[in-house]
A and B are shown apart, each in its own frame.
Chain A
């Protein structure tokens, strides 16, 4: 019996999952994905999506690649995984309808993958599990209304789990992370 080897797809998905796992474990710390730009969204999609789940994205160019995983395209009110390479105010109206989970099943709260920039932008002060000390990051290209919606609509243990993607970097903000803007 020979030892099995990782296929290129498995290698890519393992690297992506590892980045996502540590991104949630240590919120605010950038992790490296095996792909950059729109390909990073595809890599996250192929790591998380298959026949058992569904997705939403308003970005038409992303739909074929995500649908190729077997995941079903769903409206934002039902989709457990949602991809917004550029989140505009109009798309924010869709995003705020994303599932929050229920008290019996908080794990049904949506995972949101959002494109943004880390080099400069709005300071976000983070605290909560995964952070030994409060941490400040800067995030550009995301409307401030997102953070207001996250704070008011989503009350722990309900909520959204966020991945922020810039190039090949991903930052995780699970629902436990307290975010203060400014």
Chain B
């Protein structure tokens, strides 16, 4: 037996950049997070060659789960080509040899900052969401130790009070992104700063969602087919952003989440936030081959799971959409 036969060839970096101890710890925490949906599991967030606050939480999770047989998509606010997404994608590919794509349907792992793709994710896909602040109780309880006790007691009364105060003062829920949700009927969870439009996509989803905050050193998960309910009152319901009447200036798409672009003459134009989906729509419009997946919201703005987004009946007994 020689030393060379016992040691593997020298490498400049560990596979996936993180050392074996870091990956093992992350994997232990991820398994616990999946077993306790919505519970924030602490972990020893490692240093990476990007600054905390730029997606290090999501990056550590992705580096721990991908392998060369995976296909990776990285998006930032829906865009595959933003600086943050491009840098993260390049780094992960260099450190793991993973194939990359902009097609949601082709990806097995999707790391995202602040969006869920428009096309429905399927079983076997992992959505990794970057989280700046994992604590949904932060606005009512700045002391994280006390907030942890509140989670232990399932004491979320102050969040309901905050919602009520918003209704009294402003006539509607003021929370935009990071709208708090109750996971599996037990833990209040921040779904990361995804718009309300994307929040229902986590409910009874076929895919696995992993959320990780590198700066705050906590990760949590939503397993497939798990109840994820935005907090709402019995007579005032959670509503998604109103995209009615917004038409994508490039693709003509309707009732999808749009970026608003101010124009010099006043007013706004709109463009699909999900650039990978937009690119496929454009390819199809040119007559090129493009496989489009079913989307969470259809062209009429109906969510694919009936009853998840509720509307009060109007005087005629028909659902009435409250524009927000």
Contact = CB atoms under 8 A, between A and B. Distances in A.
A51 to B, nearest CB: 8
Contact of B8 (A7, A49, A52, A107): A7
Interface string A156-179: 110001000000000000111000
A48 interface: yes
A175 B36 contact: yes
B67 A3 contact: no
Contacts of B34: 21, 24-25, 174
Given A3-B94, A129-B223, A25 B15 contact: no
Contacts of B253: none
Contacts of B148: 104
Given A10-B15, A10-B20, A24-B31, A106 B39 contact: yes
Nearest to A129: B226
Nearest to B44: A52
A111 B31 contact: yes
Interface string B91-115: 0001111000000000000000000
Contacts of A136: none
Interface string A9-31: 11001100110111011100000
A1 interface: yes
Contacts of B227: 129
B136 interface: no
Given A26-B224, A50-B21, A176-B37, A103 B15 contact: no
A25 B224 contact: yes
Contacts of A109: 35
Contact of A7 (B15, B21, B24, B184): B15
Given A21-B34, A129-B226, A157-B186, A13 B95 contact: no
Contacts of A48: 24, 27-28, 31
- Please classify the interface of chain A as helix (H, G, I), strand (E, B), loop, or mixed, using the class held by over half of its residues: loop
B11 interface: yes
B170 interface: no
Contact of A3 (B30, B36, B97): B97
Sort chain A's interface into a size bin: 35 or more
A120 interface: no
Interface residues of B, number: 51
Contacts of A17: 27, 64-65
Contacts of A64: none
B24 A21 contact: no
A5 B39 contact: no
- Please classify the interface of chain B as helix (H, G, I), strand (E, B), loop, or mixed, using the class held by over half of its residues: mixed
A47 B15 contact: no
Contacts of B24: 13, 47-50
B16 A107 contact: no
A107 B30 contact: no
Interface string B24-51: 1101111111111101010000000000
Contacts of B23: 13
A176 B34 CA distance: 9
A119 B20 CA distance: 35
B233 interface: no
A157 B32 CA distance: 11
Contacts of B36: 106-107, 157, 174-176
Contacts of B15: 4-7, 10
B265 interface: no
Given A25-B34, A25-B208, A48-B27, A157 B225 contact: no
Given A48-B28, A104-B149, A157-B39, A18 B65 contact: yes
Contacts of B27: 17, 20-21, 47-48
Given A50-B21, A157-B36, A157-B39, A104 B152 contact: yes
A53 interface: yes
Interface of A: 1-10, 13-14, 17-18, 20-22, 24-26, 47-53, 102-104, 106-107, 109, 111, 129-132, 156-157, 161, 174-176
16 contacts: A4-B12, A4-B17, A6-B68, A20-B31, A21-B65, A24-B31, A25-B208, A26-B123, A48-B27, A49-B24, A102-B152, A103-B153, A107-B32, A111-B31, A129-B225, A130-B226
Q: 9 closest pairs, A vs B, by CB?
A: A174-B35, A103-B152, A129-B226, A107-B32, A161-B35, A24-B34, A104-B152, A4-B15, A7-B8
Given A4-B96, A107-B33, 20 more contacts: A1-B94, A3-B94, A10-B20, A13-B20, A13-B23, A20-B27, A21-B31, A21-B65, A24-B34, A25-B223, A26-B224, A47-B27, A48-B24, A52-B21, A129-B227, A130-B224, A157-B39, A157-B187, A161-B32, A175-B36
